Amino acid sequence: MTIKAWMNEQLKKPYMKNVLARIEKDERNFRVFPPKHLRYYALEVTPYDQLKVVILGQDPYHQEGQANGLAFSCIKKPLPPSLKNIFKAIQFNGFEVDDTNGDLSRYANQGVLLWNSYLSVIEGKPLSHQDEAYRLLTKSLIRKLSREHHHLVFLLWGSFAQQFEEDIDGDHLIIKTSHPSPLSSYRGFLTSKQFIETNEYLILNQKKPIDWR
C-alpha cells in the first residue's frame, strides 16, 4: 500500500470523522491554512522509498501566505523566528544555508519528512484545530514509518514532539533537543550538533547525507 493510499484509508476511519467535519465547517466560515490541496503535501513531496529523516512540528503557521504543508517551512517573508533559529542551528553545525529561503521543500525532496501533527489551523488562531484525532493519526504514521524503514533519524524538538518517542520502534536514531522557538531554543537547540549527527548516521548506514543548504 502506498503512503497516499494509507493516508486516504486513515481519513475514512471513524476516529477522523468529527475533526474532518469540524474543519470542513470552519472552511466555510474562516480562512484555514494551509489550503486544502497542500494539507498532505509533506507525504506527497517526500519520496517515501527514500525516507531518511523525520521532523515533527505541532501545527501550521497561522498567517496568510506562510504555511505550505511542510512543518516549519514558510513561503512568505519575514521568516518566523523558529525557522530563523533552525537556520542558525544548521549554520552552527558548519553547513552553509540559504537563510533567506524559507521553503523547506529542498529538504523534503531529499527524504526529510516535515510533518505537522495538527494539519490545519484557522487564520490568526494557533492550535485552533488541536484535536486528539490528529494526534492519533500522527502516532499511527510514526509507527508505520518506523516499522517499514530502517535507520531513520527522528529529530524531536521540544516536549510536544518528544511525546511521540514511544511510537518509534526499530533500529533508528532519536535526537531530542529543545524547540527552536525563541522561548526555548537557547536550552540546547541552537548549540546541538544534531545535523552533523544526522548526516554521520546516514553515511554510517550507507545512505546519502542531507544537503542542508
Instruction: Render pLDDT for 7-56 as a digit per residue (tens, 0 to 9).
Output: 999 999 999 999 999 999 999 999 999 999 999 999 999 999 999 999 99
Answer whether 58's CB lies under 8 Å from 117's CB. Answer: yes
pLDDT at 146: 97
Q: Is residue 211 part of a domain?
A: no
Q: Is residue 133 part of a domain?
A: yes
Sorting pLDDT into bands at 50, 70 and 90, what band is 1?
confident
Separation of alpha carbons 32 and 28, rounded Å = 9
DSSP-derived 3-state class of residue 32: strand
What is the biggest distance separating any 2 CA atoms in the chain, rounded to whole angstroms? Answer: 51
* Residue 146: closest CA among 127, 129, 171: 171
Domain span holding position 21? 3-204
Q: Is residue 135 part of a domain?
A: yes
Answer whether 61's CB lies under 8 Å from 67's CB. Answer: yes
Assigned C-alpha cell, 205 = 548506514
Q: Is 26 a catalytic residue?
A: no
Q: Is residue 124 part of a domain?
A: yes
Answer whether 150's CB lies under 8 Å from 171's CB. Answer: yes
Instruction: Render pLDDT for 134-151 as a digit per residue (tens, 0 to 9).
Output: 999 999 999 999 999 999
Answer whether 62's CB lies under 8 Å from 123's CB. Answer: yes
Taking the whole predicted model, whether its pTM rises above 0.75 is answered as: yes
Sorting pLDDT into bands at 50, 70 and 90, what band is 111?
very high
Q: Is residue 73 part of a domain?
A: yes
Catalytic residue among 26, 49, 59, 167: 59
Q: Is residue 127 part of a domain?
A: yes
Domain count, the chain: 1
- Residue labelled with grid coordinates 531518511: 52
Instruction: Render pLDDT for 43-102 as a digit per residue (tens, 0 to 9).
Output: 999 999 999 999 999 999 999 999 999 999 999 999 999 999 999 999 999 999 999 999
